[in-house]
Amino acid sequence: LASETAFNVNEVEALYELFRQLSSSILDDGLIDKEEFVLALCDGGKKNFMAEKLFDVVDEKHDGHIEFPEFVHSLNIFHPDTPQSDKISFAFKLYDVRSTGYIERNGLKKMILATLSETGSSLSDEQLDAILDRTLEEGELKEEGKMDIQEWEQMVSKCPSLIHNMTIPYLRGGITLAFPSFIIDTRVEESDLI
């Protein structure tokens, strides 16, 4: 896994410890199911559209659970050294809500509403429609109301902030000292890593 990702061997070992904890949070089976994934990402494990869509993208085999290699591959997307093209592709899969090969208006709307709900924010229907209209006008070149991967890539090249949250700086080097706080607040003692 270290040779396939931006992580070194020690970091992959630290990720394994985190994976082991997450995969045994409900059922100790060595796999992370959707319920365990949502529990790790969401306060109290309450249903969350964004977390569920993220699970679907991380579950590379689409078999209803995440194995350790899938876990490492998905965290690798957020590594500072991962190529931007990989981040763009991953983000596209998130926004392609129905897995049609397009970012569609309704899917984009669901993602925006899920993000707003998660932050406790809201927009009026008019504001939301204006954001959707502008986004699709700027991004789509071929078909009205939806954007393919090439159009998404062009849009991100014009506005790189669209994938700004696809990089977690402390995944470079710091992972062996503390697990990512965005997943679970667990500290690893240095003596545990030796």
CA gap 37, 47 in Å, rounded: 11
> Chain centroid to CA 158: how far?
22
DSSP calls for 173-189: SGGGTB--TTT---B--
pLDDT surpasses 60 at 126: yes
Q: Are 137 and 143 in contact (CB under 8 A)?
A: no
Average pLDDT along the chain: 81
**Comparing 9-80+168-183 with 84-165, is the CATH topology the same?**
yes
- 137-184 pLDDT tens trace: 776 666 677 889 998 998 888 888 888 888 877 666 656 544 444 344
The fold of 84-165 is Recoverin; domain 1 (1.10.238)
- 52-93 pLDDT tens trace: 889 999 999 999 999 999 999 999 998 999 999 999 999 999
Collapsed DSSP state (helix, strand, coil) of residue 83: coil
Q: State residue 87's pLDDT score.
A: 93
17 residue type, one letter:
E
CA gap 158, 105 in Å, rounded: 20
Q: State residue 44's pLDDT score.
A: 63
Sorted by sequence, the CB contacts under 8 Å of residue 62 that are 6+ apart come out as 56
Domain-by-domain residue ranges, the chain? 9-80+168-183, 84-165
- 8-12, 41-45, 49-53, 155-159: range with lowest mean pLDDT: 41-45
First to last CA, the chain: 20
Taking the whole predicted model, whether its pTM rises above 0.85 is answered as no
**What is the percentage of the chain residues whose pLDDT exceeds 90?**
31
Distances (CA, A) of 112 to 21, 116, 165, 166, 187: 31, 6, 14, 16, 32
CA gap 138, 136 in Å, rounded: 5
Q: State whether CATH 3.10.400.10 applies to domain 9-80+168-183.
A: no
CA gap 153, 84 in Å, rounded: 10
